[in-house]
Amino acid sequence: DLILELAWQSGGAGRVFWALGLAGVFVTSVYIFRLVFIVFAGPPRTEVRGHGHAAGADGSQAGPVMGIPLAILAVLSYRTVAAMVDTSQHVDASGRRFERLADTVNLMAKDLSFVMDRTGDLAFRGNGGSNGRPGEVRFTRSGSDYRSGGAAGPGTVGYRLRDGKLEQLVYPPDWMLDGRPEIRPLLSGQVTDLRFRFRDRGGAWHDQWPVETVTGLPSAVEIRLRLADDSRLTRVVAIP
């Protein structure tokens, strides 16, 4: 049922595969019914009815009457199996893409939930994105068990969309001379736009952070992704 549903939803040639699959289901149901009826409700058939494959009542080989339907069934079976394989591969690929997307959004949410407010320092910087330019965030987070299995010192991370790739930026400690971040690609080709919004403690939303009239950390961050199929995904993360 799922294979037929996905074949129909894919449109185009998928509708042809859907029709072939539906025809195969109907033929199979008729054949299985005939088989069960003959075996359990038909008369006993213990006499040998000839020699050789598909033999007639007189022992001669069956002609086109049997050969043509078998050939048609063989073609339909081949096309149905091919459609099932293609649909199965499509489902597997879609599932893997969804898993990567879900893992990425969860990673961003976990990082944001560990944001630290360092006095005297801009612990959180955010550009929501505008005029066709994707948004970007950079913030200091505390060490977290979900990464290393133990306590860790504060670290600075960021997220951005560049050249069709959603990237995580992991910045080195302040005492290191080389301040360039390690760039970790997370998604490639799945996200076409990345936007952020930041809510202050009074409940107002802003496209940039920090805000001149507000101090400290935002109370929440809204992550908005536009995917390659033009669908949208939004996640709001509360900041402790």
**Could you give the C-alpha distances from 10 to 21, 97, 98, 209, in angstroms and in order?**
14, 17, 17, 42
In this predicted structure, what is the pLDDT of residue 16? Answer: 86
How far apart CA 148 and CA 139 sit, in angstroms, is 19
pTM: 0.59
pLDDT tens string 13-52: 778 888 888 888 888 888 888 888 888 887 776 665 554 4
Count Cα atoms within 13 angstroms, Cβ side, for 136: 13
Across the chain, mean pLDDT equals 80
pLDDT for position 73 = 80
Q: Check pLDDT > 60 for residue 100.
A: yes
Query: 193 CB contacts (<8 Å, ≥6 apart)?
Result: 129, 134, 161, 224, 225, 226
Tens of pLDDT, residue by residue over 178-219, are 778 899 999 998 899 999 999 998 999 999 998 888 878 899
Cα dihedral 32→35→41→44 (10° resolution) = -170
**Backbone CA torsion sign across 202, 204, 205, 209:** negative
**Cβ neighbourhood burial of 80 (10 Å; 0-12, 13-18, 19+):** buried
